[in-house]
Chain A
Amino acid sequence: MIETIENQTSGKQENPTAKNFPAFFSCWDIHAYYGESYIVQGVSFDVREGEVVALLGRNGAGKTSTLRTIARTADPQLKRGEMWLDHQALHEMPSHKAAQSGVALVPEDRRIIPGLTVEENLKLAQIAEPCGWAIERIYEYFPRLAERRTQEGITLSGGEQQMLAFARALARDIKLLMLDEPFEGLAPLIRNEISKIVLDIKNLGITTIIVEQDAMAVLKLADRAIILDMGKVVFNGAAEEVRTNKELREQYLAV
């Protein structure tokens, strides 16, 4: 199955228009609202193919909202702006179309569906084309999920649920993976396990945006960092720079 992803990558490289649009994913001046409250206030950035981007910022800076806007969930509501993923206009799509175009969001609270077993949760991800990893391959990579395949998904431990959420994303053919706080609320040991998975994903060459409170942890993984404040982009540069620039961190990240 690794082949499929590689094929896809190489296929895209052959695309002649790709040269004209070096950014694989790009969002341009997006504005989004939760009801009356104005949350995403004109965010623009590009992501190159295969890049891992850390999206940072304080609580309430609009990180999660930006991810949800890209995933085209009903809330927050996109009022203005464009988003393009591999020549596809995401801003014109409902969430299920965006998902079919290759957007995957692993939400903060994992959103494992109650009442469904582990396997059903995975199956659910493979109903809409295009699919990614086969379920056997997922079980191979996550043996703990294989053990619990008939167990109800929400009865798993926090770490296992996170794995399931990852697995569910990998079960789809993804072009842009968005991880919202993948380490939140996990014990240190499990965190290591998860960051190993994230590293693996990075090595697979999947374009990824990670939102994380623990900036230092994620900056080790990321190629680039984007910092949001009050719904606007205030920094966009190498991850290394944020790691070394204490002032920047203190100003926008409070660390």
Chain B
Amino acid sequence: MDSIFLQILNGLDKGGAYALIALGLTLVFGTLGVVNFAHGAIFMLGSFCAVTTQNLLTYSKKVKDESITYFEAFKEVPYLEIWWGDTGSFIIDYKVPFSILLAIPVMLLIGLAMERGLIRHFYNRPHADQILVTFGLAIVIQEIVKSIYGANPIPVPAPAIVAGSASIGSWIGLGESVVYPWWRLIYLANALVVISAVFSFLKFTTYGMVVRAGMQDRETVGLLGIDIQRRFTVVFGMASVVVGIAGVMYTPILSPDYHMGMDFLVLSFVVVVVGGMGSLEGAVVAGFMLGVLQSFAAMNEIKSIFPGIDQIIVYLVAVIILLTRPRGLMGRKGVMED
């Protein structure tokens, strides 16, 4: 029972990450009709916003390290700590939350620049061209990040106060032994908040209504005098922010490296397709569903019956869904069937 509860929690957590990435991908696809293979790279850039914040906050004074005698080595003391003492350390400790403040404008700008500079010219090109050019962009972005930050993962720990685990079991009567990391709970909450925010924006604001209308029928919206293109540009920026926040918040769970975007990319495409191309609800549902299934497949009891199932479960589910429900769980007719 305990372990099943924890695995569900794990799955939701993982699903939260999938759902956020897939949501951004679907927003872009649903509005602009562009299959964006650079989406994973944007996620990675979000993570590196956190790394950059960390680097900025811990920008250090170099002091000669006397303990190393063979060569000139330096100890680093962050200026923030020199200037502000404990307050400085406190700020450094809270770098991940702070980096969201950096990530929002940065990701928005990156998104807008990408749409204006590149994606815009590919609306009327075949999907294959879109895939290829954004794939090329993804490679370029990740190689640039690699040349700046190196190839190894860079740890960006969560604030010390939430570094440990919550004794979640005692809250719901499963006993003290059932614990779950604070940061993962925060991540899950964050994912739910961001997802709700996106849906509320689309559902309850006029701007959102226009975007929804545009996703369904951009021509008619244009015939009503609305410059849907400009709004879609903003949506692209928004999708970048959504996935950027997902990236920032994920850093304490997975130390970011330049390649993490590619690792998520294939998976997020599977999620989007399982959910149904162009369906935002589908992306979220499929994200959580695949997360939970993946989590269960990793249980020893299940692996002992089907060896290797944890390695293929996501793809297996994708195949089954696509064969039984041709347009994914919640897909619409006529999307991407040309």
Contact = CB atoms under 8 A, between A and B. Distances in A.
Chain A contact patch, size range: 20 to 34
A128 B225 contact: yes
Interface string A122-158: 0111011100000000000000000000000000000
B209 A124 contact: yes
Nearest to A114: B216
A168 B213 CA distance: 14
A99 B223 contact: yes
B228 interface: yes
Given A127-B224, A128-B226, A172-B225, A115 B216 contact: yes
A107 interface: yes
Contacts, number: 70
A113 B213 contact: yes
Nearest to B221: A124
B210 A124 contact: yes
Interface string B205-224: 01001101100110111111
B224 A123 contact: no
Contact of B225 (A73, A99, A114, A120): A99
A113 B216 contact: yes
Contacts of B227: 94, 96, 128
Contacts of B226: 96, 99, 124, 127-128
A74 interface: yes
Among A104, A120, A124, find the residue whose CB has the most chain B CB atoms closer than 10 A.
A124
Interface in A189-218: none
Contact of B224 (A74, A94, A172): A172
Contacts of A115: 212-213, 216
A40 B68 CA distance: 82
Contacts of B222: 73, 94-96, 99
Contacts of B225: 96, 99-100, 125, 127-129, 172
Interface in B253-302: none
A179 interface: no
Nearest to A102: B225
A226 interface: no
A73 B216 contact: no
B224 A107 contact: no
B92 to A, nearest CB: 46
A125 B219 CA distance: 13
B213 A74 contact: no
A111 interface: yes
A23 interface: no
B221 A113 contact: yes
Contacts of A120: 209, 213
Interface string A209-240: 00000000000000000000000000000000
A168 B220 CA distance: 11
Contacts of A74: 219
Contacts of A168: 224
B224 A124 contact: yes
B209 A73 contact: no
A73 B223 contact: yes
A105 interface: yes
A74 to B, nearest CB: 7
A71 interface: yes
Interface in A64-123: 71, 73-74, 94-96, 99-100, 104-105, 107, 111, 113-116, 120, 123
B219 A95 contact: yes
Given A96-B226, A128-B225, A128-B226, A123 B209 contact: yes
A220 B51 CA distance: 73
A96 B223 CA distance: 6
A91 to B, nearest CB: 16
Interface in B224-261: 224-228
Given A111-B220, A113-B221, A127-B206, A96 B213 contact: no
B235 to A, nearest CB: 16
A94 B219 CA distance: 11
B208 to A, nearest CB: 11
Contacts of B216: 113-116
Nearest to B123: A74
Nearest to A94: B222
A125 B209 CA distance: 12
A16 B57 CA distance: 67
Contacts of B221: 113, 124
14 contacts: A94-B227, A95-B219, A99-B226, A105-B223, A107-B220, A111-B219, A111-B223, A120-B209, A124-B210, A124-B213, A127-B225, A128-B225, A128-B226, A172-B224
Top 4 closest pairs, chain A to chain B, by CB: A128-B225, A99-B225, A95-B222, A111-B220
